[in-house]
Copies of this chain bind each other. A is one copy, B any other.
């Protein structure tokens, strides 16, 4: 959990005012409604759904449910990027983790 919070802080600095939702351990619908709110009440025209490692599957689920069920014909998946991050774990071993960035956009 600590790592997720740290990541959130750094990413927030990088993204500044961008509308970004980081997928983690919260209840599934928190993320979906978070995205819907960004588009409907906070005037976002683009929202980035980001996740790392095992949360990538969840990010895809969240993006699909938001764009196909809640905001059908209003938003669409605009672009998807995948990448890798490398870092040293506690034992000093280099660990690679995959990341995803799904850009949702107003139609």
B55, B60, B82, B83: which contacts A98 (Cβ < 8 A)?
B60
Q: Roughly how many angstroms separate A81 CA and B68 CA in the complex, as a whole number?
A: 14
The reply to whether B102 and A57 contact each other, CB–CB distance below 8 Å, is: no
Contact of A82 among B55, B63, B83 (CB under 8 A): B63
Closest chain B residue to A86, Cβ basis? B68
Number of identical protomers: 2
Q: Is the beta-carbon distance between A60 and B64 smaller than 8 angstroms?
A: no
Q: Which chain B positions have C-beta within 8 A of A63?
A: 82
Residues of B within 8 A of A100 (CB): 60
Report if A8 contacts B (CB, 8 A). no
Give complex CA distance A45, B19 in Å: 37
Chain B residues positioned under 8 Å from A53 (CB to CB): 57
A-B contact pairs, 22 of them (CB 8 A): A53-B57, A54-B57, A55-B57, A56-B56, A56-B57, A56-B60, A57-B57, A57-B98, A60-B82, A60-B98, A60-B100, A61-B98, A63-B82, A64-B82, A64-B98, A65-B96, A68-B84, A77-B82, A80-B80, A80-B81, A80-B82, A82-B102
